[in-house]
Amino acid sequence: MAKISPRKTPMREQPAKERIRNFNEVPFGYSIEEAVQEAKRCIQCKNPGCIAGCPVEIDIPGFIRLIAEKDFKEGINLLKEKNILPAICGRVCPQEEQCEKVCVVGVKNEPVAIGRLERFLADWEREQGEIEIPPKPKSSGKKVAIVGAGPAGITAAADLVRWGHKVDMFEALHQPGGVLVYGIPEFRLPKEIVFGEIDYLKKLGVRLYTDSVIGKVKSIDELLKEYDALFLGTGAGLPWFLEVPGENLNGIYSANEYLTRANLMKAYLFPKYKTPIVRGKRVATVGGGNVAMDCARSALRLGAEKSIIIYRRSRNEMPARDEEIHHAEEEGVVFQLLSNPAAFHGNKKNWVAEVECIRMKLGEPDDSGRRRPVPIPDANFRMPIDVAVIAIGNSPNPLIPSTTPDIETGKWGNIIADPETGKTSKKSVFAGGDVATGAATVILAMGAGKKAARGIEEYLQTGVW
């Protein structure tokens, strides 16, 4: 056997200096030669850890072998048996925490670039033009409503429609995709790709109703009269703020608002698109997760001269993916670590002009296992800024719980759902994704959608709640 190359086949990408002036996707994806070369790094182990490491249990060695054999068509078909959204997952899944973390090649070398190979197959299929639609399954005569067309909902819809159920999907916004469209920026996940995947769902027979706020235009109980089961994947809700003085000054956004303006409403194309966004010269983003990286990198593309991440712990504790932090650093995002805003100070017109930060040091580990940040007294400092983005998380969406009194919710307003089946406290109603778990990742939401689809299938078959 040929010696395994110790490193992943590199993926070409837009140089940092160029890309901070546009919203185009950063990595270009593998060519056929690069994909085949990378696929050959997979040793096809007998007991692969990667499948168990994947929340949707893709046959990873299987599709990689097919890439190595240049049978891309079979490869994509095998991939799609488990994952209906490979073009998205290949781009935004934290593979380093999942499949690639347990890759055997990764013990002594860099792991196989599973995510990049997944993306390659999805992109290859799209470039072929017509995407193959599997034959229609036999109708089960059952109807399922999916509430929320984000990653959890579309994953559940895909499985349920393939099992012969009639699936209607309701989306509150004017476009489907949820966080994939309103949250994740174009340069990380082009919207065309998301809409392509959703078109595929429609071709499978899923009916999509946008502009439909369930809980308002129709209640859960009304839906239950029309459908045999419901899946609630309503996602993120109201953003958390720091609750510090000056936070309501103009120029201070929640991450949800900043990203929704930029992505869903295309404010980066203002004034062709009419939704404005403040193009700050010095933008401070508060938080250390993927969403914070998305905001800080968007700020650069919107013309910021300086984009600063303010994070209260050190780089080691940052929850963002390494790749995202790395991309942000390459692009010139400045990391103001071990600092936490104590106040925002405004100018005479009530616009934010300065952020005042407390310096922190790391103390003992807290419940999350990360070292707790402890304020250093009398060490506050100020930085001039003209836009701030608060990216410290959000609570689950309140609309369904507030309009469905008999559904049980947890401490944070999250809908309580069985993590294995998605069952809620209300008969025939399942839930998953951020609305059940609080803010998490796209792939975890998809995993929850998949599990709930199985839960729904079992319920529809047996009628047992």
Partner 1 sequence: MIEIIEREELVPNVHTCTVRAPGIAKKALPGQFVIVIPDEYSERTPITIADWDRKAGTVTFVFLEIGASSQRMAELNAGDKLYSFTGPLGNPFELGKFGTVALVGGCYGIGGIYQAAKALRKEGNRIITYSEARSNFLLYWNDKLEKVSHEVKYATTDGSRGKKGHAWDILQKDLTEKTKIHRIIAVGCTFMMYKVAEVTEPFGIKTIVSMNPVMIDGTGMCGACRIVVDNQTKFACVDGPHFDAHKIDWDIIMSRRKAYLEEEIISKER
Q: Which residues bind partner 1 (CB under 8 A)?
A: 172-174, 182, 210-213, 216-218, 235-239, 241, 243, 248-251, 253-254, 256-257, 260-261, 264-265, 270-276, 278, 349-350, 394, 397-399, 402
Query: Closest separation between CB of residue 256 and partner 1, Å?
Result: 5
Specify the residue, 222 or 305, whose C-beta has the smaller distance to partner 1: 222
Instruction: For residues 392 and 317, give the distance between their C-alpha atoms in angstroms, rounded to a whole number.
Output: 14
Query: Closest separation between CB of residue 176 and partner 1, Å?
Result: 12
Q: Maximum distance among all alpha carbons in the chain? A: 71
Specify the residue, 133 or 217, whose C-beta has the smaller distance to partner 1: 217
Specify the residue, 213 or 337, whose C-beta has the smaller distance to partner 1: 213
Specify the residue, 29 or 287, whose C-beta has the smaller distance to partner 1: 287
Query: Closest separation between CB of residue 145 and partner 1, Å?
Result: 14
Specify the residue, 182 or 335, whose C-beta has the smaller distance to partner 1: 182
Query: Closest separation between CB of residue 311 and partner 1, Å?
Result: 20
Q: Are 392 and 384 in contact (CB under 8 A)?
A: no
**Is the preceding omega at residue 271 within 30 degrees of 0, hence cis?**
yes
Q: Are 335 and 311 in contact (CB under 8 A)?
A: yes
What six digits make up the tokens of 408?
């049980």
**How many Cβ atoms sit within 10 Å of the Cβ of residue 288?**
24
- Comparing CA positions, the residue from 97, 209, 115 lying closest to residue 441 is 97
What six digits make up the tokens of 419?
């993590």
Which letter, b or e, does each residue of 429-439 get, where b requires 16 or more Cβ atoms within 10 Å of its Cβ? bbbbbbbbbbb
Q: Are 393 and 257 in contact (CB under 8 A)?
A: no
Query: Closest separation between CB of residue 116 and partner 1, Å?
Result: 31
Q: Identify residue 162 by its one-letter amino acid code.
A: R
Residue whose entry in the numeric block shows the structure tokens 């952020």: 355
Query: Closest separation between CB of residue 402 and partner 1, Å?
Result: 7
Instruction: For residues 141 and 175, give the distance between their C-alpha atoms in angstroms, rounded to a whole number.
Output: 28
Collapsed DSSP state (helix, strand, coil) of residue 29: coil
Specify the residue, 254 or 339, whose C-beta has the smaller distance to partner 1: 254
Specify the residue, 14 or 395, whose C-beta has the smaller distance to partner 1: 395
Query: Closest separation between CB of residue 241 and partner 1, Å?
Result: 6
DSSP category for residue 352: E
Specify the residue, 42 or 154, whose C-beta has the smaller distance to partner 1: 154
Residue whose entry in the numeric block shows the structure tokens 């580990």: 365
Specify the residue, 172 or 206, whose C-beta has the smaller distance to partner 1: 172
Instruction: For residues 396 and 403, give the distance between their C-alpha atoms in angstroms, rounded to a whole number.
Output: 14
Cα 54 from chain centre: 15
Query: Closest separation between CB of residue 308 and partner 1, Å?
Result: 21
Specify the residue, 124 or 182, whose C-beta has the smaller distance to partner 1: 182
Query: Closest separation between CB of residue 328 and partner 1, Å?
Result: 23
Query: Closest separation between CB of residue 246 and partner 1, Å?
Result: 10
What six digits make up the tokens of 394?
């959000």
Q: Are 253 and 180 in contact (CB under 8 A)?
A: no
Q: Are 386 and 347 in contact (CB under 8 A)?
A: no
Q: Identify residue 145 by its one-letter amino acid code.
A: A
